A and B are shown apart, each in its own frame.
Chain A
Amino acid sequence: MIDMQSIRKIYRTQHVETHALTNFTVKIDAGEFVSVMGPSGSGKTTLLNIAGLLDTFEQGSYVFDGEDVSKLTDREMSRIRNRRIGFIFQSFNLIPDLNAFDNIDVPLRYRGMGAADRRKAIDQALDVVGMSARAKHYPAQLSGGQQQRVAVARALVGSPSLILADEPTGNLDTAMANEILDLLEQINEMDTTVVMVTHEPDLAARARRRLHLLDGRLIDIEMDDRPTPLVAAAGTTAPVRM
């Protein structure tokens, strides 16, 4: 699913160069649930942005689902994001002018689906996250947990093969956080790959593989002992300690 080799990402301002990712290599297979941990500035979000084709990199290679990302045009990358990747953000990032239904509708609009198909898919996604009763509510009328449920519905409405979640529980209380995690696990059980950035070890522990980042490098990979049928030699391609 994700195959990054020696990725280097540098943010430059007039005076400072920040190495967000250095010689970063990781491979995540289809169906995995991977959490990414590390202190602020360790490159977690950069990793997610590059994985989600939202950001470019200076060096290395990234093959997403068999396609060399560096050779794709903006239009092709947008198409992949639209059809094969779902994003969940810490601050939900719902569009305030649109109600829950219309927020979930956004990716389907860019896909050019017909109205009946869109309605069906949205109703289904709302049902999965338990928000059917609040389809017409605007973000401002929803609690944080409810907004994140809508955001999860928006991420999964297009049946993506990869969900990228950037601290999806960062703004939620523990109960809500666990509910969202339950949802992510549920999605993962449907063979969707989930990569989740989190600061919270308890939540990270629910992933089968945990990547630890520091200063833009992958410093550790933890595996739990549960069987991971789709993961073949996970971590063997990653430098474990650098």
Chain B
Amino acid sequence: MLAYQIRIAWLSLKRNPILSSLSVIAIALGVAVSTAFVTVYYIHSGDPIPTKSDRLFYVEMDSWGPDRPFSRNRPEAPPNQITYRDMKGIMTSEIPTLQSGMFVAGLIVHPPDEDQRPTRERIRMCFADFFPLFEVPFAHGGGWDRISDRGPDPVIVIDTATNDRLFGGGNSVGKTLRIEDRNFTITGVLAPWRPSPRFYDPHTGPNQEPEGIYMPFEFFRIFEVETDGNMLIWDDSDGNTVEEFLASEAIWIQMWVQLDSAGQRQTYLDFLDAYAMEQKKLGRFQRPLNNRLLDVMEWLEDREVVTEEATGMLVISLLFLLVCAVNLIGILLGKFLARAPEVGVRRALGASRGSVFLQHLVECELVGVIGGVLGLGLSALVLRLINRLLDNGDQLALDPTMVATGIGLSLVAGLVAGIYPAWRICRVAPAIHLKLQ
């Protein structure tokens, strides 16, 4: 019966193509806008690492100057990065299961093909734990070991795109890549990895792709490279030499730890407090004790990765879809009531009110689904436009969940638009129209 009703609905749509097109366009516009903004919201609000987001913690320590808080707007918030000396200090702890300080640097990479020109690449400087910490997937090989952190040994991990670009794909483990004036051996090639948002360093853009190359942290000293991200300092202690800079109060490092239980978390927080108290004795950490551990979702909320604007736009876009659907009520009502004589005939031939209602609802849902498919196409274009405007790469795109959401929204819109007209037409007294047709 459903197939029959879909066929009847399709014939009805064909009967009045202009009106049907208007109805479809109304739904398509609503679905396009709402799906686009649901996608923006979804990408920004989703849990990027659901398997362990409650066990990964971002470390914040208040090493800021005594005169004013790090953030004027949120005086209770400690600085959002830490100093090199504090990273070294707290990484002596064996409490976390895994831990890594990190930052992004820009270094010159010499492609193995000498015809290609050297390029400046964004490289994540991190520790061996980075890969297991964030469950980074490997296509070939793996990360380096902790001993290589200490050397540091000239080892790197590259991502799929970099492997394809520089080595033409395949298993490049063991091959070397020249970066600045050194050769690095590749220990691993990542499988495609795109945490969304890029939670581990939202400072440099939550929608950015992860870096293409990963290198032991301590190479920054050898290359004397500064962060490509944010570096802030509250005094003038950064000095002129690398050693002076590293001993300064400059904050530029993101620090992540894995703590698997509430007890472990508390022990580590106690450790951080004890560390801060020691630093106070040295004349540092002059502000009130304020260390924080934020899990992934707390951290993203703290960084306002899902902005109020995104939430607002989501609500507005859904309201827009509602307006489109409500506008459609009038169009459908007129269309259905004009068809009352045919409904009268069908009633005479044995259609119950229920089946008349259902048949018209199917027609509304058909409008919804056609509009939804069209809307999803438009939505993909809208997202490409947003990507281009925000320089996001292809971060915002429709995945199967969003396609399903779009179709779901179009079905709801079809229902909202159709339920009243379908109810009205099924209540029409059949006898009145039979004589008139």
Contact = CB atoms under 8 A, between A and B. Distances in A.
B350 A78 contact: yes
A87 interface: yes
Find the residue from B12, B15, B350, B437 having the highest chain A CB count within 10 A: B350
A95 B347 contact: no
Interface residues of B, number: 26
A45 interface: yes
B389 interface: no
Interface stretch (B206-214, B326-334, B351-359): B351-359
A111 B347 CA distance: 12
Nearest to B7: A102
B95 interface: no
21 contacts: A45-B435, A52-B348, A54-B431, A54-B434, A55-B429, A75-B353, A75-B354, A78-B347, A78-B353, A79-B350, A81-B348, A81-B349, A81-B350, A82-B350, A89-B437, A97-B14, A106-B345, A109-B4, A110-B346, A110-B351, A154-B349
Nearest to A80: B350
B19 to A, nearest CB: 15
B216 interface: no
A75 B354 CA distance: 8
Interface string A73-105: 011001101110001011101010110000000
B390 interface: no
Given A89-B435, A107-B349, 6 more contacts: A49-B434, A78-B353, A81-B347, A82-B349, A82-B351, A106-B349
A229 interface: no
B1 A93 contact: no
B348 A110 contact: no
A112 interface: yes
Nearest to A109: B4
Contact of B435 (A75, A90, A111, A112): A90
Interface of B: 1, 4, 11-12, 14-15, 341-342, 344-355, 429-431, 434-435, 437
A163 to B, nearest CB: 12
A106 B346 contact: yes
B349 A74 contact: no
Given A81-B349, A106-B346, A110-B355, A49 B341 contact: no
Given A54-B434, A112-B1, A97 B351 contact: no
Given A45-B435, A78-B352, A54 B347 contact: yes
Nearest to A98: B11
B346 A97 contact: no
A74 B1 contact: no
Nearest to A106: B349
A45 B436 CA distance: 12
Most B CB atoms within 10 A — which of A78, A89, A158?
A78
A100 B330 CA distance: 33
> Could you say which of A75, A91, A106 has the most chain B C-beta atoms within 10 Å of its C-beta?
A106
Nearest to A151: B345
Interface residues of A, number: 29
Interface of A: 45, 49, 52, 54-55, 74-75, 78-79, 81-83, 87, 89-91, 93, 95, 97-98, 106-107, 109-112, 154, 158, 166
Nearest to A55: B431
Given A75-B354, A78-B347, A93 B434 contact: yes
Given A74-B353, A97-B12, A110-B355, A89 B347 contact: no
B435 A166 contact: yes
A95 B353 contact: no
A139 B348 CA distance: 19
Contacts of B4: 109
Contacts of A112: 1
B311 to A, nearest CB: 46
Contacts of A110: 346, 349-352, 355
Interface centre among B4, B429, B431 (most CB of A within 10 A): B431
